[in-house]
Structure 1
Amino acid sequence: MQKLILLLVPLSFFGGHSHAQSRPPDEAAIQQTIARFGASWAKADFSDMGEYMTPDCHWINVVGMHWRNLQQVQFAHQAFATSMLKGVAAQPVESTLKFVTPDVAIVYLRTHIGAFYPPDGVDRGSNKQGDKDNLATFVLVKQQKQWRITSAQNNDVISQAAASDPVRRMPK
């Protein structure tokens, strides 16, 4: 748990990718909000999710499940954390922050997710998932001087597909 937090916090999340001007206090607060999600993951306990997500939040997971409020988002994360994702490490790789408005920001967080076995955490020989990077998009809003996640979506990064990314061949 502490290893994940220690990796999340010093990642220097926002290396110059903020919109308009530098906003160190907001950047630090956003970084802390994202780190709180990482801490919940690491301890497999999402009971504090209401402290860093909005009540009307949305989350679309890697397989397209769409959860539409804090109660659903929290329940689903807790269910997976105690079953197929139990003990699965998530190691941050890189992150970028973009301010959309003074009170809205987007964080793109790439994380390496360890191996896991859907649907229940049992290795059946052909159900291994994970052990690859995942890219999450977090939309945060500043409400009453606090940054909270209001929407998120995460996707697997398929390394074989990356070689075919047309942007890699784009003229400079």
Structure 2
Amino acid sequence: METRSMPSPSATPADIVAWLEAHCRAWNEDDVPGMFATAAPDLHWVNVVGMHWHGRDASIAAHVAFFRQMFAGVPLTLAAIESVTAVDVNVRVVVVRWQVGDYVVPTGEVIAGEENRMSLVFSGSDDALRLRHVANVRIDPIAARHDPVHSMNAG
């Protein structure tokens, strides 16, 4: 059975670390356009409840609306960089975990401090790094305790 360790911060490519830090900083400053400063025009974004936005402009518009409704002032913290996988010399897939502060969804339900796992696809590198695709998943803490792979790796 193969087990994969988390990359150390020093092993994570500097351009990926810089992107994640800039994204987190922009979120915490409620700077939605800043969150997408290096996104490709044809970006695809799938959010935590399955909405799919095609295009940077649509992704910005959706995030602006949601920041007005529920995310303004909600803190975001990078919890872990779980993996960075080079698909080829120009494409990398990154998996990270974010810690999101409490917020209230449009139905009035309070979401109390959650963790999300995000897969990101980047093309290019350094100053030419472009975000191409995001899939964001809310981590269910009850289900996570029953992850069969986690329990196999823990023993």
TM-score calculated relative to the size of structure 2: 0.84
Q: What percentage of aligned pairs have identical amino acids? A: 27
1:97 deviates by 1.5
2:130 corresponds in structure 1 to 148
Unaligned runs of 5+ in 1: 1-12, 17-21
59, 81, 86: which one pairs with 1:99? 86
Higher normalized strand content (fraction of residues)? 2
Q: Equivalent residues in 2 for 1:7-18 (5 A)?
A: 14-15=7-8
The amino acid across from 1:103 in the alignment is N
Q: Give the match's secondary structure for 1:40.
A: helix
Aligned length: 148
Compared CA separation, residues 51 and 132, structure 1 to 2 (3 A): closer
1:139 corresponds in structure 2 to 121
Compared CA separation, residues 135 and 144, structure 1 to 2 (3 A): closer
The amino acid across from 1:166 in the alignment is P
Compared CA separation, residues 68 and 130, structure 1 to 2 (3 A): farther
Task: Report which stretch shifted further, 35-44 or 138-147.
Answer: 138-147
1:33 lines up with 2:19 in the alignment: yes
1:50 deviates by 4.9
Distance 1:169 1:92 in 2: 24
1:167 deviates by 1.0
Distance 2:36 2:137 in 1: 23
Q: Equivalent residues in 2 for 1:98-137 (5 A)?
A: 98-119=85-106, 124=108, 127-137=109-119
1:39 deviates by 2.0
Distance 2:8 2:125 in 1: 24
1:59 corresponds in structure 2 to 45
Unaligned runs of 5+ in 2: 1-5
The amino acid across from 2:143 in the alignment is A
Q: Kindly provide the CA deviation profile for residues 42-93 of structure 1, in whole angstroms up to 9, marking residues without a partner as x.
A: 1112223553100000000000000000110111112112221111111111
CA RMSD of aligned residues (A): 2.5
1:168 deviates by 2.9
Distance 1:94 1:144 in 2: 21
Distance 2:48 2:36 in 1: 22
1:19 corresponds in structure 2 to none
47, 50, 59: which one pairs with 1:73? 59
Q: Give the match's secondary structure for 2:42.
A: strand
